[in-house]
Amino acid sequence: METIKFETNMPQVLALAFAEGKPVESQFTGAQVMFSTVDGRRMYLAPFVAEKIRAAGIAARIPFEICKKQVGRSIEWQVRTHNAAAGAVSEATPTAAQVRSSNQTVPKEYNDDGRHDQAMAAPIPAAAAQLTQTGTKLMGALAAAVDAVMEAEIYCARHGREIRFTSEDVRALAITVYISDCKGGGA
């Protein structure tokens, strides 16, 4: 599974396969949270960034934007989602007190007085944030394909065989699931 690498000042629009991340330990950076995306990739984030995702109410299979942004000499993680119902952009920025209460180191993007620096100004493009019924079906098919190949890899590993699916395999399976869904579930 490909790991998402975040380049500074390069926002990415992603959709999570599951709303909650999985706590993991890194030998280099300690505690992290792993998230899987609907396109079969994963990302490892510091717990305070995972908290921003949770605080923003990011749901599974709904696009949101995440950016590792250079602000002065420090790095700020920004999480944005488009609230289609309210027609507004929502940003999750926990306070320094919230971060401190979670026993995490306060990130550099917090000022000494505990206030969070201003977040990104540009909203997510509405086309990327608002899923149509077709888009919802397609996202569901992609998530089902990712789940299926992950389960197949686990099954094979339990039986002493290693199999690795490519993004092309996932794409082909997702298209098959999508077509089947559009035909009413019949093959």
pLDDT of 170: 87
Phi, psi of 89 (to 5 degrees): -100, 135
For 89-148, how does the pLDDT look when each residue is reduced to its tens digit (9 = 90+)? 444 444 444 444 444 444 444 444 444 444 433 444 554 444 455 667 777 788 888 888
185 against 53, higher pLDDT: 53
Q: Residues 6 or more apart from 158 whose CB is under 8 A from it?
A: none
Express as a percent the part of the chain with pLDDT over 90: 34
pLDDT of 26: 87
Q: Residues 6 or more apart from 105 whose CB is under 8 A from it?
A: 99
pLDDT of 143: 80
Q: Residues 6 or more apart from 117 whose CB is under 8 A from it?
A: 71, 76, 109, 110, 111
90 against 161, higher pLDDT: 161
Phi, psi of 13 (to 5 degrees): -95, 120
Band (pLDDT 50/70/90 cuts) for residue 47 is very high
pLDDT of 134: 67
Integer CA distances (angstroms), 82 to 38, 91, 129, 131, in order: 18, 9, 6, 11
pTM over cut 0.85: no
pLDDT of 76: 93
pLDDT of 185: 66
pLDDT of 105: 43
For 133-160, how does the pLDDT look when each residue is reduced to its tens digit (9 = 90+)? 566 777 778 888 888 888 888 888 888 8
Cβ(108)–Cβ(69) below 8 Å: no
